């Protein structure tokens, strides 16, 4: 909300430098992952998408404009996911199978989006967080990989069941905030329950020197910036201790 979308092009893009860091961590660990990429970024930096694909990673869609699903009409959502998928496939040379909604915005009121994804040729979604949160989540959604009635697979975010509660773990701010030992313990618990652990991170989470925009509350700045200095080292350590692979569901 601090920077209107129409002003995005007036700011320097930091994503490629951050991706240099991310791709280096993956390469040194010998790990391949799934990269959910915006159409907006692909349009401006097609060479970066090609680098990701040529390094052996899965290219998937994050929509076009990073608008949450709840801010889009069904028609606008269809345009976003269709347009981004076509461009990503043209640039990467890969079939784009997966989608992840900005802000995990596939919630109870936006489940209509899943039918559109299936109609547009996607094989899986990875947008549902089976937890209560003030901004997103479906608290009673399944914790395991499952298939919707329309044939679309769902790869939910990782949640740890602990004393009758569901705790989000292993991604974004949770990955940066929790002590590494807690994160590794949670990964083991989830794996022992027979589920893969989904770790998700953004390029900006490897960028402790990013500018601080004006008009953002202290609480939001703290949540955004906590642990940025240790994201890279922590991810490298976790990659040493566990086995990872791209999603590629539906292949």
Predicted local distance difference test score (pLDDT) of residue 29: 98
User: What backbone phi and psi angles, to 5 degrees, belong to 96?
Assistant: -90, 115
Helix (H), strand (E) at residue 99: strand 98-99
Q: In 3-state terms, what secondary structure has residue 197? A: coil
Model pLDDT for residues 129-154, shown as the tens digit of each residue: 999 888 899 999 999 999 999 999 99
25: left (phi over 0), alpha (psi -120 to 50) or beta: alpha
Q: Backbone dihedral region of 170: left (phi > 0), alpha (psi from -120 to 50 degrees) or beta?
A: left
- Asked whether 109 and 73 are in contact (CB, 8 A), the reply is no
Task: Read off the pLDDT of residues 25-70 as tens digits, 9 standing for 90 and up.
Answer: 999 999 999 999 999 999 999 999 999 999 999 999 999 999 999 9
Report whether 98 contacts 74 (CB < 8 A).
no
pLDDT at 249 over 90: no
Q: What are the φ/ψ torsions at residue 125 (nearest 5 degrees)?
A: -120, 145
> Cα–Cα distance between 219 and 22 in angstroms, integer?
27
Measure the CA–CA gap between 124 and 118, rounded to whole angstroms.
8
pLDDT for the residue 46:
98
Residue 229 DSSP code: G
């Amino acid at each position: 909300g601090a920077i209107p979308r129409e002003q995005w092009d007036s700011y320097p893009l930091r994503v490629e430098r951050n991706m240099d860091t991310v791709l280096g961590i993956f390469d040194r660990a010998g790990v391949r992952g799934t990269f959910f990429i915006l159409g907006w970024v692909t349009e401006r930096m097609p060479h970066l998408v090609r680098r990701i694909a040529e390094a052996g990673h899965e290219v998937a869609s994050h929509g076009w404009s990073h608008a949450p699903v709840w801010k889009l009409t069904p028609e606008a959502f269809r345009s976003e996911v269709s347009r981004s998928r076509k461009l990503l496939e043209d640039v990467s040379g890969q079939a784009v199978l997966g989608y992840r909604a900005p802000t995990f915005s596939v919630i109870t009121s936006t489940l209509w989006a899943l039918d559109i994804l299936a109609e547009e040729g996607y094989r899986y979604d990875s947008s549902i967080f089976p937890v209560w949160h003030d901004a997103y989540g479906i608290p009673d959604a399944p914790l395991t990989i499952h298939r919707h009635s329309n044939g679309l697979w769902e790869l939910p975010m990782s949640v740890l069941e602990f004393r009758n509660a569901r705790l989000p773990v292993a991604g974004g701010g949770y990955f940066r905030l929790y002590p590494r030992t807690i994160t590794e313990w949670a990964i083991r618990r989830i794996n022992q329950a027979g589920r893969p652990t989904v770790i998700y991170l953004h390029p900006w989470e490897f960028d402790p020197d990013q500018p601080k925009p004006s008009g953002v509350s202290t609480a939001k700045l703290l949540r955004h910036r906590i642990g940025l200095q240790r994201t890279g080292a922590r991810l490298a350590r976790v990659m040493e201790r566990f086995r990872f692979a791209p999603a590629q569901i539906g292949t």
